[in-house]
Amino acid sequence: MSKMGRKAFFSCLVMAIFAVSANAQAQPDAIKITTKPETIYVESGTSQKFVNCDFQLANQTSDKLKIESVQISVFDSKGSFVLRKVIDSHGVSPSINTVPKIEVGPNETLNLFNPFYSFEGGMELSRLDFDFGLSNEKGDRSYHQKITLKPIEYHTKTAFILPIKGRIVVEYGHDFYSPHRRIDLTNEIVRQVGLVANSARYANDLSIIDKDGNLYKGGRNQLESWFAYGAPLFAPGSGTVVTLVDGIPDNHFEKDGGVAYAKEVTREKASGLLGNYIVIDHGNGEFSLFAHLKKGSFKVKQGSHVKQGQSLAAIGFSGDADFVHTHYQLQNNADPATAEGLPIYFHNFWKIVGGKRSGVLMGAIDTGDVVMPADRKK
């Protein structure tokens, strides 16, 4: 090959390599990533911090894409690097498979629950840089899209107290595996219900147990056997009743232990899922919602001003409930379909672990916790 021929050959080779490399580069308009909610909060637990948010990945290409990796880099308030974690397709059982759905079709949007949700309690989470790596089915085109989050540590403006006087168990809280946490806003059923935000993001299902952890005494099929059924519910903070829905009958248990739902349980309206419910405006951008209340048990009316600790209603079995409890959530407006959830911190309660209890001046509660107002001695 002549010197000129070799030069032309290498020139063409370089151009070919550049073309292949160009196909593997990120294309800014290929993948659009947004977060739900837009304002992301840090919730502080006993020894950890939690970032509760979802990502929506919009595939704006004509290819079916697969998520190959998700990486997070954490920086403190001075911009210093703190931590890096990654889930990817390496290994015999790749960690990326912990994400339930990693494929997104052309012009589709995929919801991804933040896989990096917990951090050490003393860690500064001033800036979170996420890098998403995706590839097409042939593997000849890859994309990397980044998004930066600047979460805010949320502090409740209302000094909330626990709304039940008994020994309370958080049967379902808002941890990563909780149904409250895992509401996919791109899901067709969720859209049918009319949800455009997750007002239940920090919700807790509260029931009552005895000292041995039992939810009921005797047969579970009798509502009156449940310790929570008919138990009074108290205002966790002062405010105004802005929504009150009553008149929905309780569900009942069938002989086989299943639940026979009242005909009013429907996806057409909020009360079909929430049952009898109440919303209290605390006057500072915080709204308390209690659901699954007992028909005809309300002690207040819509428009009433209530004081902290005032009796509101009784716990029932209405709406989309399969055990006796009240669903409680804090949200940023009165409408559960459009509101975003807010972290909840309660004041002055006991946290019970086995035979021991410790006093909490202010703190969050979550799945599995057993708590009791501090003014209770038993």
pLDDT digits (tens, 9 = 90+) for 157-192: 999 999 999 999 999 999 999 999 999 999 988 888
For 366, phi then psi, to 5°, come to -155, -175
Specify which residues 282 forms β-bridges with.
Answer: none
Residue with the larger pLDDT of the pair 264 and 203: 203
Whether 185 is in a domain gets the answer yes
Tens-place pLDDT, residues 95-140: 999 999 999 999 999 999 999 999 999 999 999 999 999 999 988 8
Is pLDDT at 13 greater than 80 in this prediction?
no
Pair (143, 187) in one structural domain: no
Q: Terminus-to-terminus CA distance in the chain, angstroms?
A: 94
Return d(Cα 165, Cα 72) in angstroms, integer. 42
- The last residue of one of the domains, among 88, 118, 153, is 153
Whether 7 is in a domain gets the answer no
7-11, 25-29, 42-46: which is most confident: 42-46
pTM of the full predicted structure?
Answer: 0.90
Percent of the chain with pLDDT over 90: 83
Whether 120 is in a domain gets the answer yes
The string over 61-70, giving b where at least 16 C-beta atoms fall within 10 Å of a residue's C-beta and e elsewhere, is bebebbbbbb
Pair (231, 149) in one structural domain: no
Q: How many domains does the chain have?
A: 2
pLDDT of res. 2: 52
Tens-place pLDDT, residues 292-336: 999 999 999 999 999 999 999 999 999 999 999 999 999 999 999
Q: Read off the pLDDT band of 364 (50, 70, 90).
A: very high
CATH number of the structural domain spanning residue 251 = 2.70.70.10
Pair (128, 207) in one structural domain: no
Determine the structural domain holding residue 86 and report its residue range. Answer: 27-153
Whether 227 is in a domain gets the answer yes
Pair (223, 198) in one structural domain: yes
Whether 229 is in a domain gets the answer yes
Pair (116, 202) in one structural domain: no
Return d(Cα 340, Cα 356) in angstroms, integer. 35
Contact 173, 367 (CB under 8 A): yes
Spatial neighbors of 180 by CB under 8 A, at least 6 apart, are 172, 173, 174, 200, 201, 202, 203, 204, 205, 329
pLDDT of res. 189: 86
Pair (204, 126) in one structural domain: no
Pair (249, 363) in one structural domain: yes
Whether 22 is in a domain gets the answer no
Return d(Cα 117, Cα 51) in angstroms, integer. 5
Lowest-confidence region among 81-90, 96-105, 189-198: 189-198
Whether 219 is in a domain gets the answer yes
Lowest-confidence region among 40-44, 149-153, 218-222: 218-222
Pair (129, 260) in one structural domain: no
Pair (220, 358) in one structural domain: yes
Task: Tell me the average pLDDT across 214-233.
Answer: 95
Pair (72, 221) in one structural domain: no
Pair (345, 233) in one structural domain: yes
Is pLDDT at 150 greater than 70 in this prediction?
yes
Residue with the larger pLDDT of the pair 194 and 87: 87
pLDDT of res. 256: 87
Taking phi over 0 as left and psi of -120 to 50 as alpha, with beta for the rest, 236 belongs to: alpha
- The last residue of one of the domains, among 107, 123, 153, is 153
Contact 170, 206 (CB under 8 A): yes
pLDDT of res. 193: 85
Lowest-confidence region among 1-15, 235-249, 348-362: 1-15
- The last residue of one of the domains, among 153, 182, 200, is 153
Whether 5 is in a domain gets the answer no
Return d(Cα 154, Cα 45) in angstroms, integer. 12
Q: Read off the pLDDT band of 269 (50, 70, 90).
A: confident
CATH number of the structural domain spanning residue 54 = 2.60.40
pLDDT of res. 202: 98
Pair (141, 279) in one structural domain: no
